[in-house]
Chains A and B, each alone.
Chain A
Amino acid sequence: MAISTEKLTHILQSFVTSTTDIQGAAVVTPDGLPLAASLPGSMDEERVSAMSAAMLSLGDRIGSELARGGIDRIYVEGDKGYGILTSCGEDAVFLVLADKAAKQGLLLLEIKRTLSELKAVLM
């Protein structure tokens, strides 16, 4: 079955709008192409996708070479907020951009929930 971009976009949009302090989200291929995105207007989808893929691949590499095992998640913590990359099965990477005010526990739960929704569409 073909992957429905509309469904993916819909999931991302409702994730971004219904979760407080989330500013954007995207699902990209492991080689850095956009599948679906709901991002702040100033951000270029293609660039965001490429960066996500580069970061996750390096994280994977650190996991294997520095004996950290398989990588579930990569955090980028800045003074203005978080960028969280989560691997979403073989064929996708899930990026979430959150505000500094975001509650981490809530964030992780929401990411987990959305991940399973995304996976259902991607399978």
Chain B
Amino acid sequence: MEIMRLVVTGPVGAGKSTFIRSVSEIEVVDTDRRATDEALLIKKRTTVAFDFGRLQFGPDMALHLYGTPGQSRFDFMWDILIQKAHAYILLVAAHRPHEFREARRIMMFMQQRSPVPMIIGLTHTDCPNAWDAANIALALGYPNPNRRPPLVTVNANETASVAQAVIALVQHTWSGSLATT
């Protein structure tokens, strides 16, 4: 059985824990604690170590999903998790533009430590004031649509939508490994 480790990262409240809960076949190993920081404005509980979920992908591949904490004070966890990752998805809440800079910071952190493929998942796109994909890509530092990671829209609450995003990530990873061999 081949295991592919996927990391789900992004700023606080992007939907990382929800994302993993939506597709995991096992009961998710979560480490959330009552939030006392700025996360409290968005939600009651926040991840302090990681979330872990598992998903069978075809007969001989299992996906292990690791969700990171969102706050940068947990960047040691970002580091631990990205070291072993085969690919990652950066979740960005489309309706909170003030967090795009933080999302970009997380992305830079990951890129400095690991060359593995990544895609961007836009969440909360159905909320009022949500930015469109092109503008978010721009805000994340990708002005050229032909030279950027794949961008997908995800509803972290919907299993089918999350599954689509996971498939996109796996496909992107495979196409990358084909290109380099």
Known A-B contacts A32-B48, A57-B49; the reply to A50 vs B35 at CB < 8 A is: no
Asked if B123 CB lies within 8 Å of chain A CBs, one says no
Q: Kindly identify, within residues 1 to 49 of chain B, every residue whose CB is under 8 Å from any CB belonging to chain A.
A: 29-37, 39, 46, 48-49
Asked if A65 CB lies within 8 Å of chain B CBs, one says yes
Asked if A47 CB lies within 8 Å of chain B CBs, one says yes
Residues in A whose Cβ lies below 8 Å from that of B32: 57
Q: How many residues on the B side are at the interface (Cβ–Cβ under 8 A)?
A: 19
Contact across chains for B74 and A57 when beta carbons are under 8 A apart: no
Partner of B73, one of A50, A55, A60: A50
A46 to B74, CA, bound (A): 9
Known A-B contacts A33-B37, A57-B48; the reply to A49 vs B31 at CB < 8 A is: no
A57 to B51, CA, bound (A): 11
Contact across chains for A54 and B49 when beta carbons are under 8 A apart: yes
Q: From residue B30, how far is it (CB to closest CB) to chain A in Å?
A: 8
Q: Kindly identify, within residues 18 to 74 of chain A, every residue whose CB is under 8 Å from any CB belonging to chain B.
A: 29-33, 46-47, 49-51, 53-55, 57-58, 60-61, 65
- Interchain pairs with CB closer than 8 A, number: 54
Contact flags B74-117 to A (C-beta < 8 A → 1, else 0): 10110000000000000000000000000000000000000000
Closest chain B residue to A51, Cβ basis: B76
Contact across chains for B29 and A65 when beta carbons are under 8 A apart: yes
Known A-B contacts A47-B76, A50-B74; the reply to A31 vs B29 at CB < 8 A is: no
A57 to B35, CA, bound (A): 13
Q: Kindly identify, within residues 37 to 73 of chain B, every residue whose CB is under 8 Å from any CB belonging to chain A.
A: 37, 39, 46, 48-49, 69, 71, 73
Contact across chains for B33 and A53 when beta carbons are under 8 A apart: yes
Chain B residues within 8 Å of A, Cβ to Cβ:
29-37, 39, 46, 48-49, 69, 71, 73-74, 76-77
